[in-house]
Amino acid sequence: MANHKSALKRIRANEKKRLRNRFQLRATRVMVKKVRISKNKAEAMEILKVASAMLDRLARKNVIHKNKASNNKSKLAKFVNKLAA
| 3-class SS of residue 39 | coil
Domain 5-82: which CATH number of 1.10.340.30, 1.20.1250.20, 1.20.58.110, 1.10.150.120: 1.20.58.110
Could you report the per-residue pLDDT of 24-70, keeping only the tens digit for each? 999 999 999 999 999 999 999 999 999 999 999 999 999 999 999 99
pLDDT at 84: 81
Phi and psi at residue 46, to the nearest 5°: -65, -45
Across residues 8-22, what is the average pLDDT? 96
User: What is the torsional sign of CA 43, 64, 67, 53?
Assistant: positive
User: What is the torsional sign of CA 59, 63, 67, 68?
Assistant: negative
